Structure 1
Amino acid sequence: VCCVDRTHMLRQCVRVVRHSRSSRSFSTTARAAVYSSFGSPQKSLSVKEFTYDDPKGSEVLIRMLAAPINPSDVNMIEGSYPICPETEEKIGGNEGVGIIESVGSEVTQFTKGDRVLPKRPCFGTWRTYAVEDQSKLRKISNTIPIELAATISVNPCSAFRLLTDFANLSAGDVIVQNGCNSVVGQSIIQIAHSKGIKTINILRDRPDFAETVEYCKNLGGDIVVTEDYIQTAAFKTLIADMPRPKLAFNSVGGRSATDMARILEKGGTMITYGGMSRKPVTIPTGLLIFNDIVLKGFWLSKWTETHSETEQNEMISALTEMIEKGTLKWKIQREKFENICEILQTNNKSFSSGKKVLMF
């Protein structure tokens, strides 16, 4: 009888232990790059630890895989960007890719193991883990490299929209752009090339100019020249047999933008999406009066707010398909997340290094 009682008690104990384990609440410790006041990243940014409870309801637990460092990320920390996170303590980073580790009881859109991207900026991607509502995320194929998935949402999407939204371009048409070594520029070259659209690409003279020219031409760039060369008679001869560009994509400003406007076709459009030189866009009066040049601006965040989720998903799918086919890529420089403060203190201007991507 004693043995039977002991066996019965042992079984009861096992049941209690199992029940307590199944109902236990777990937490996840995460590290994040945060700032509470605006200023230079070197002074404002620090890495702190956070604790997240298990996801509840429609929440999911995301383990971040990779996130880039974009100019807009730095501008946001400096306080010079039009939008920023509304929380008092803000987590840096606007884009990146993560993997779903666990889901709340009401989650229907994702399962464990899905790769996801933030739908909107100010997500705070510079962290090792995040718990967020499923509505803030979109699924991304796991067939493309993590580094490219992490950087697909901002620059390649901007390139896609620039080539799609401002003119009805066809094979044989020409566009001109400055800043062609950026991820937007690299993407414009390749997307245009896939459609038979010719590109004139302008670079600032730089120590690695020859290497950059070769790289851009290998991507499909038709003409790659310096800002100084575009003002020469030799350049006019070089483009003499080409149609005038329908569109100019400006990410630099200053004289570079003016020079591009001069070679646009009559009625052509210049779209400004950046201003790396910090100099204003100046257009001669004659180009506006006699050539009917149109000037516009583009900001992907605004486009995202005013267009449907279906349109956004179709754009991501089109870019993903190009990556899978090997017709779209961009240079990446992998960095360790734990070194983020040191990384932001450096200013590596060499194109050969590529877009800096934090690996978690």
Structure 2
Amino acid sequence: MVTILEQVSLSVTCDLEPRAGLRELCCRERRVADEVKKAVAFVDGRRSCTLKYATDHQTSGISAVKMPINRVLEYMRFGDPTKVLQLVEKAMPNAPGAGQVVVKWIASPINPLDLNKISGTYPAHSAKFPCIGGSEAVGIIDKVGSGVKGLAAGDKVISALLKYPVWANYKLCGANEVRKVDDRLSTEFAATLLINPSTAYCMLKEYVDLSRGDYVIQNCADSSVGQNVILLAKEWGYKTINTVWDRPGAEESKKRLKELGADYVFTDNEFAKDGKKMIKSLKVPIKLALNGVGGPSIQKISSVLAKGASVVTYGGMSLKRHEFSTGSFVFNDLRAFGFAIFDYLEKPENQQKADKMFRWLQDLNAKGGIHPPEMEKCSMDEYAKAIAKSTEGGHLKQLLYFDSTFMNKH
């Protein structure tokens, strides 16, 4: 094994004629090193590869053969994701045993859930360090163990549950830890299918029996979940009233949400000033509110709900307590629920509904009725920049590619 460039490992094999002596071998090794330096530019950014040098009495040349590598994004302790996350090379997974598969992960979005798990603020995350990051991804089945049914090498899959880490090139896992998806799905949609579209679907279907023309109100409308709520509501004929944070870029967010199909969009301050008056003019009871922010925001949107309405909380982006006024909560008989998609998917009684939901979402995507949010693509080597943008906020969602050759593919 020789190292010719920083962090690029190359194995060189010389096949010589039987009469070649030690002196000739040394000379040829020098030529190999020179050829390798020229050839390394053709391995398209991959950190590691194997180069075989072949020669005989008629021809000589060099060929590059990419060998699989397994790099992971892991952390050894809880803390600031920009500081504790590291890119580390690991051994390739063992061959899959009975009921197991090896998955080659392609891409994964960086979600708030991922950052909270790394920082240790996510209470349900029990860590056994080192921990690999990530919660949802799209990949391809690389190898299949005995007894596995319904999966074959080359199948496109997504992670089936959020508790399994995915920020790795390759992962050995149980066949039940992945879900096969339509091969026609784009990388972007498949990578984000597990959490946000399904969260929006369940919140709109599980708590209130809505009919066409009914209104739903939500905060955090420019989040990935919020955008999916707008798209699904449009598909089912519901109307949406949406609020976004008062911050730079709010007007652009409002415009983008209207283009998606939002009926009304306000900043939080605009809603506090004009929201109640507008809603009163609708003369339609609002039976469902979706809350991903907490703090004063939920107090504002819950104050316009009909008697007996439901508030479903799926997040707390403000990092503040969820506030309800006594008048709204007690005397208006509001019902408050918490929703977490990972908990929903892990319950055996929900499996048939989940299967139906994922099939329906894929079919809707094929018809153009739902699509992934606009995202910024980044390679695994750019993880630090992508994590920083995700923690800062105000940027597009970051989509992390473990294999950069897929970045420009559908």
TM-score strictly above 0.5 = yes
Of residues 325, 349, 359, the one that matches 2:393 is 349
Structure 2 CA distance for aligned equivalents of residues 332 and 240 of structure 1: 37
Unaligned runs of 5+ in 2: 1-66, 403-410
Task: Answer yes or no: is 1:213 the counterpart of 2:254.
Answer: yes
2:326 corresponding residue in structure 1: 285
Going from structure 1 to structure 2, the CA distance change for 1:233 and 1:200 (only over 3 Å counts) comes to closer
Superposed displacement of residue 185, structure 1? 0.1
Structure 1: gaps (5+ residues) = 1-26
Residue 129 of structure 1 corresponds to which residue in structure 2?
170
Take 1:289 and 1:153, find their aligned partners in 2: how far apart are those partners?
35
Q: Which residue of 2 aligns with 1:276?
A: 317
List per-residue Cα deviations over 1:12-66 (Å, max 9, x = no partner). xxxxxxxxxxxxxxx9530000112111112221111111222232221211111
**Aligned CA distance change for structure 1 residues 195 and 150 (closer, same or farther; 3 Å):** same
Matches within 5 A, 1:152-301: 152-233=193-274, 236-237=277-278, 240-301=281-342
Q: What SS does structure 2 have at the residue aligned with 1:253?
A: coil
Moved more, 64-73 or 313-322: 313-322
- For normalisation by structure 2, the TM-score amounts to 0.77
Which residue identity is paired with 1:124? P
Map 1:40-189 to 2 at 5 A: 40-51=80-91, 52-84=93-125, 86-189=127-230
Does the aligned pair in 2 maintain the 1:32–1:47 contact within 8 Å?
yes
Q: Shift of the alpha carbon at 1:258?
A: 0.4
What secondary structure, in the 3-state scheme, does the structure 2 residue paired with 1:232 have? helix
CA distance in 2, matches of 1:38, 1:171: 46
The structural deviation recorded for 1:78 is 1.1
- d(CA) in 2 for partners of 1:85, 1:31: 23
TM-score by length of 1: 0.88
Aligned length: 332
Corresponding residue SS for 1:64: strand
The percentage of counterpart residues that share the same residue type is 33
- The two structures, once aligned, show a CA RMSD in angstroms of 1.8
- For residues 235 and 294 of structure 1, the distance between their equivalents in structure 2, rounded to whole angstroms, comes to 20
> Which moved further from structure 2: 267-276 or 169-178?
267-276
Cα distance in 1 for residues equivalent to 2:310 and 2:240: 15
Deviates more, 1:306-315 or 1:150-159: 306-315
Query: Does residue 321 in structure 1 map to residue 333 in structure 2?
Result: no
Mapped to 1, the partners of 2:254 and 2:388 lie a distance apart of 28
- Determine helix, strand or coil for the equivalent of 1:275: coil
Q: Distance in 2 between matches of 1:105 and 1:278?
A: 46
Alpha-carbon displacement from aligned partner over 1:53-89 (angstroms, at most 9, x marks no partner): 2223222121111101111111111111133365432
Higher relative contact order (CA 8 A, sep 6+): 1
Structure 2 distance, partners of 1:145, 1:231, is 39
Q: Which amino acid aligns with 1:165?
A: E
Match of 1:38 in 2: 78
Partners of 1:234 and 1:53 in 2: CA distance: 58
Contact 1:202/1:225 (CA < 8 Å) preserved in 2?
yes
Question: Out of 332, 338, 343, which is 2:381 matched to?
Answer: 338
Q: 2:286 is paired with a residue of what secondary structure? A: coil
